[in-house]
Structure 1
Amino acid sequence: MSQPTPPRYLKPMNRLVKGLHKLGIPTGAAMVLTVPGRKTGRLRSTPMTPFTYRGDLYTVAGYPGADWAANARAAGIGTLSRGRRSWRVKIVELDAEEARPVLRAFPAQVPVGVGFAKRSGLVHDGTPDEFEALAGQLTVFRFDPVN
């Protein structure tokens, strides 16, 4: 299988979602994560669809090597926003073993992510087994609240 790449519509769609959130208009389950860029330090915002699993909030990078994931990893802390609400979070990366059950839960929790993964060439059917097999390839983060 070739290296998965983000679909061409992703950047324009991300700009639209960020713009709506700035106006205070939430877009479904999507949230915006803002972290400083690892090279420039400038704030970078990325829409994503976090989900709750066993009481904690997680997100999965849509494809290996995503820039936002490298920025989040380097920052270790960021701001999640939904509409005009925002809160600080500690960003904790899971290792492959910790990520397996979270990835297995992902298809049921984030159906839009399944379609994205299919279009990107990461999975064929979008089953829990396929997503679990991506442990160690896809970045999985847990967001812990910062007091």
Structure 2
Amino acid sequence: MTTGRAAGRTSGTRRRGVLRRAVDGVVTALVRRGSGPRGTVLLTVAGRTSGQPRTTPVTLVERDGTRWLVAPYGPVGWVANVRAAGVVDVRRGRAVQRLAVEEVDAAVGAPVLRQYLQEVAVVRRVFDVAPTDPVEAFVPLVATHPVFRLRPV
């Protein structure tokens, strides 16, 4: 069952508005201090053209002992950087981990994407499915909302 949102809302990328940038700034400051929303970390990855570090707050999901990175707003800049780099640093407070990143196919990513929507309510508005929909409804969405498996380097 879908939520009745307009078709196509999940395709393409989304630009962050002024409010989203302000919220990201507050979340970034909190996560740097070791607090902030549960599961939220600072993702740092080398820019694909500049090589300069780029940092953004993201929420990770844990499933079956594995940590997962989901791109709820589609293939935005950090996604292209992650694909190019293959490794990222995640930070919460003073703890920093270097992780290898592997993009997964739709069959693997669909249950992770569904769990992500169940746990991260703020992004639900950009999806054409509800968190309670069957996993099969999430399979086509992995093409526009990439899912990455994270492993220690």
Q: Given the two structures, how large is their TM-score scaled by the length of structure 1? A: 0.82
**Is residue 106–residue 139 contact of structure 2 (8 Å, CA) maintained in 1?**
no
Residue 65 (structure 1) aligned with residue 72 (structure 2): no
Aligned partner of 1:88 in structure 2 is 98
Q: Percent identity?
A: 30
- Are 1:18 and 1:45, in contact at CA under 8 Å, matched by a contact in 2? no
Structure 1 segments of 4 or more deviating over 6 A? none
Q: Which runs of 5+ in 1 are unaligned?
A: none
Give 1:59-138 correspondences, 5 Å limit: 59-108=69-118, 110-112=119-121, 115-118=122-125, 120=126, 122-129=127-134, 130-138=137-145
Counterpart secondary structure, 1:64:
coil
Once residues 65 and 136 of structure 1 are traced to their aligned partners in structure 2, the CA distance between those partners, rounded to angstroms, is 9
Select which of 28, 34, 40 maps to 1:25.
34
CA RMSD of aligned residues (A): 2.0
Instruction: Count residues with an aligned counterpart.
Output: 140
| Superposed CA offset, 1:18-46 (max 9, x none) | 22333x23212211110001111110011
Residue 3 of structure 2 corresponds to which residue in structure 1? none
CA offset digits 1:85-139 (Å, max 9, x no partner): 111100111122221222232233x233xx3131x3x225343434444122211
